[in-house]
Amino acid sequence: MRLAVVFDTPYSGWGHPEHEAQMEREVAAWKVDEPEMEYQVAHALRERGHQVRLLSVGNDLQYLVRCREEWAPDLVFNGAEAFRGNAALAYFGIQVPGFVSYRLHEKVQTEPDLKFALFVMPLQADGSAGIAQASVVQDFASLAERVAFVQERFGQGVIAEEFVDGRELYVSVIGNDDAREILPIIEMVFDKRKTRPEERIATRFAKWDEAYRERKGIRNVIARPTSKAVRERIWETCRTAYRALWLRDYARLDLRLTPDGQIWVLEANANPFISYGHDMANSRKGGNGVLRFHPAHRRCGDSSI
């Protein structure tokens, strides 16, 4: 088999030949000092007759992806523990809800190792299609019922993720590399006198039905003030997610901000609507007060990743 061993390294500019030579040196001196873990793994695999490629992660993830695409390994052994010397960046340090997914026709047979309530939605729909008050389920029986409904109604797989209670924020990012710009944050505000906590989600009605929005006191506005520390964490989270997902030019990230100041990334929209009256255009305009809602766009949605 063609096997790749991926690991983080302090050696700048080293490719497979340099690491292979270092592996041979360290293996030869094993009685004196134990070789690095990645070299032990690669050596053992090579001894078993496999083709092995040593792929190190320095400061450039593009190199890693390019090597993977060119060499096309059958299996990857991941030994990376940090990125740019920071162990927290091995997983980018971004909080996302715990989740489980179900293929089309796959039944919910066991209770997932997640904390209820769960939020159930189609895997590939957009514009909040398939999202309603019934999407928030409180127990195993309701989860199984909702998953089966979404599979039958939309003919696709389903994702169920832990429900995060908090403020619904939309953060638009424009530009690339060091020229990335974070636009003013948009917030979907729910009148607490007219809605229960579990109703404060971006359902299809909450997004596109003007009468429902009026009745429930739902508005899309420039986000209410937050502390400087929270704003900085939001900006850093969005910049990191934008880079980690290889987004470019423009995108919108949907967040939840919990009452204790925790930031959760719910979704990254790689191709959000940028037309007049939508969140990204309103954010760029940076207006004050209630943003104009356009029912003519009610059949449109976001293309999401």
Confirm if 251 and 198 have CB atoms less than 8 A apart. Answer: no
Q: For 87-101, 174-188, 197-211, 224-238, which range has the lowest pLDDT when averaged over its residues?
A: 87-101
Confirm if 35 and 43 have CB atoms less than 8 A apart. Answer: yes
Same domain, 220 and 289: yes
pLDDT at 87: 64
Q: With helix as H, strand as E and coil as C, how does the chain read? A: CEEEEEEECCCCCCCHHHHHHHHHHHHHCCCCCCCCHHHHHHHHHHHCCCEEEEEEECCCHHHHHHHHHHHCCCEEEECCCCECCEHHHHHCCCCCCCEEEECCCCCCCCCCCCCCCEEEEECCCCCCCCCCHHHEECCHHHHHHHHHHHHHHHCCCEEEEECCCCEEEEEEEECCHHHCEECCCEEEEECCCCCCHHHCCCCHHHHHCHHHHHHHCEEEEECCCCCHHHHHHHHHHHHHHHHHCCCCCEEEEEEEECCCCCEEEEEEECECCCCCCCHHHHHHHCCCCECCCCHHHCCCCCECC
How confident is the model over 206-222, as pLDDT tens digits? Answer: 988 899 999 999 999 99
The residue to which tokens 């909702």 are assigned: 146
The residue out of 134, 162, 190 marking a domain boundary is 162
Same domain, 11 and 25: yes
Same domain, 171 and 261: yes
Same domain, 171 and 275: yes
How confident is the model over 227-282, as pLDDT tens digits? Answer: 999 999 999 999 999 988 989 999 999 999 999 999 999 999 998 887 777 888 88
- Judge whether residue 295 has pLDDT over 60: no
Same domain, 35 and 151: no
In which band, very low, low, confident or very high, does the pLDDT at 289 lie, cut at 50, 70 and 90?
very low
How confident is the model over 55-90, as pLDDT tens digits? Answer: 988 777 778 888 888 889 999 998 887 777 666 567
Same domain, 82 and 105: no
Same domain, 157 and 173: no
Q: Which residues form the domain of 34?
A: 2-91
Same domain, 283 and 186: yes
In which band, very low, low, confident or very high, does the pLDDT at 35 lie, cut at 50, 70 and 90?
very high
pLDDT at 196: 83
**Nearest residue to 294 via CA among 281, 282, 278:** 278
In a domain, 218, yes or no: yes
As a whole number, the mean pLDDT across the chain is: 86
169-196 burial code (b ≥16 CB/10 A, e <16): bbbbbbeeeeebebbebbbbbbeeeeee
Q: Kindly report the pTM of this predicted structure.
A: 0.68
Same domain, 117 and 199: no
In a domain, 304, yes or no: no
In a domain, 303, yes or no: no
Same domain, 84 and 104: no
Provide the number of structural domains found in the chain.
3
pLDDT at 296: 35
Same domain, 247 and 278: yes
